[in-house]
Amino acid sequence: MQIDKYVPEVYTSLPEKGSVSWESPSNIALVKYWGKYGEQLPKNTSLSFTLSNCKTTTKLQYTKKEEGDFSFEVRLDGELEPDFRPKIETFFKRIEAYLPFLRSYHFEIETSNSFPHSSGIASSASGMSALALCLLSIERDLNPEMTDAFFKEKASFLSRLGSGSASRSIQGPLVVWGEHHAIPNSSNLFATQYDGEVHPIFKNYQDTVLLVDVGQKKVSSTVGHNLMHNHPYAESRFAQAQENIVKLQAILESGDVDGFVKLVESEALTLHAMMLTSMPYYILMSPNTLQIIEAIWEYREATGSKLCFTLDAGANVHLLYPKAEKDAVLELIKDKLVVYCQKGQYLCDNIGLGAKKIAQ
Ligand code: DP6
């Protein structure tokens, strides 16, 4: 089996205790993952920009105990966070075959985000990847022969089992997850760095996230993915995503920014169209999301700007644009868009290179 390689040799001795920290970024999909099967396997290929400033920092302390039930405590910004427990419990169950020491330790997980929790900027991507990286670092200490390449691959493999989009946060700047005939070595099991040609214009893209609704999501991504089963448009959506990957490859190579705008906005609206046409149907955009979209289209029409938007499974709007437009776009935000943001909040980010281990 392909996944056997992620099952380690039996450990001969485990350290009594230790501590490890990682920071891992969020990412923003250009071609979206929406629909999954089996154990966290994607129905279509997705391709994302890794972010830089939007990130989770996680410190994991581990102390040996009698082998038994999973044992952990999780804190967000220093406060116990019982709401995180079920997701982590599920994560541990899914990964224990690949990290057999999990039941032999008590874990103290301390985590903090550089952005508001559940702001819809995929905190599960940065959070789950940071935790996966901390856990895999324990194994790497036991097996120093592990190559860097294998470490990244297994970190992505484990992250995927926590949250699909988390598989894309280990590396950067462009990352692909899900098998695709036009992308050699692409896999459903883990994400890889996109190694096709990329025009310089796409190398320092900016992402400013307008925080339209900072509350908890009304419908979780997990529920949304499940509604793609028996969805009347699912099969054509999955086929469209596979075609969009090929189109995006050509766009990235040639620097066709107009093509980029069209493809990325269409992907965002298609994602939300899937939600509108699910049964039960639901809407995650808010009136302010639509106001912002209208304002972007007007601005583009008036100025010839290459600014475009994308959306995740929430009301927030990601503004994507070339670095050369930064001052003008920040001006636009202050003049016209900030009124649509909750408490006037927005986050400035740009493409990043992936997760980093923190020296302790
Ligand atoms: C809309 O990765 O949050 O952000 O695998 O159930 O944890 P789970 O879902 P999740 O889905 C995110 C979907 C998306 C699009 C994307 O990031 O590709």
pLDDT digits (tens, 9 = 90+) for 109-151: 999 999 876 555 557 999 999 999 999 999 999 999 999 999 9
- Taking the centre of ligand 1 as the mean of its atom positions, its distance from the CA of residue 68, in whole angstroms, is 32
- Taking the centre of ligand 1 as the mean of its atom positions, its distance from the CA of residue 111, in whole angstroms, is 20
Of the candidates 56, 91, 41, 72, the one whose C-alpha atom is nearest the C-alpha of residue 170 is 56
Are residues 44 and 135 both part of a single domain?
Answer: yes
Residue 339 included in any domain: yes
CA distances from 335 to 299, 313, 330 (A): 12, 26, 9
Are residues 211 and 186 both part of a single domain?
Answer: no
Are residues 191 and 206 both part of a single domain?
Answer: no
Are residues 128 and 222 both part of a single domain?
Answer: no
Q: Which atom of ligand 1 is nearest to the CA of 271?
A: 1
* pLDDT tens figures, 143-174: 999 999 999 999 999 999 999 999 999 999 99
Of the candidates 61, 111, 105, the one whose C-alpha atom is nearest the C-alpha of residue 85 is 111
CA distance 99 to 31: 31
Q: Which atom of ligand 1 is nearest to the CA of 163?
A: 7
- 198 DSSP assignment: -
CA distance 15 to 21: 17
- Taking the centre of ligand 1 as the mean of its atom positions, its distance from the CA of residue 12, in whole angstroms, is 37
Are residues 234 and 334 both part of a single domain?
Answer: yes
Give the model's pLDDT for residue 132.
98
- Taking the centre of ligand 1 as the mean of its atom positions, its distance from the CA of residue 276, in whole angstroms, is 17
Give the model's pLDDT for residue 148.
97
Pairing of strands 41-42, 71-76: unpaired
Of the candidates 152, 154, 155, 156, the one whose C-alpha atom is nearest the C-alpha of residue 165 is 156
Q: List, in order, residues 6 or more apart from 298 with CB less than 8 Å away.
A: none
Find the helix or strand (DSSP H, E) in which 244 lies.
helix 234-254
Pairing of strands 71-76, 105-113: parallel
- Taking the centre of ligand 1 as the mean of its atom positions, its distance from the CA of residue 41, in whole angstroms, is 11
CA distance 349 to 131: 22
Are residues 252 and 301 both part of a single domain?
Answer: yes
Are residues 273 and 159 both part of a single domain?
Answer: no
pTM above 0.85, yes or no: yes
- Taking the centre of ligand 1 as the mean of its atom positions, its distance from the CA of residue 31, in whole angstroms, is 11
Are residues 68 and 148 both part of a single domain?
Answer: yes
> Please, what is the Cα angle at 83 between 226 and 115, to 5 degrees?
85
| Domain extent for 290 | 202-350
Residue 360 included in any domain: no
Are residues 270 and 326 both part of a single domain?
Answer: yes
Q: Which residues of the chain have pLDDT under 50?
A: none
Which amino acids bring their CB within 6 angstroms of ligand 1?
29, 32-34, 40, 46, 122, 124, 163-165, 221-222, 225, 271, 312-313
Counted domains in the chain: 2
> Which of 27, 32, 33, 121 best tests ligand 1's pocket when mutated (most atoms within 8 Å of CB)?
33
CA distances from 310 to 27, 44, 87, 173, 302 (A): 12, 18, 27, 17, 20
99: which 2 tokens? 């990290």
Give the model's pLDDT for residue 220.
87
Buried b (16+ CB within 10 A) or exposed e, 199-231: eebbeebbbbbbbbbbeebebebeebbebbeeb
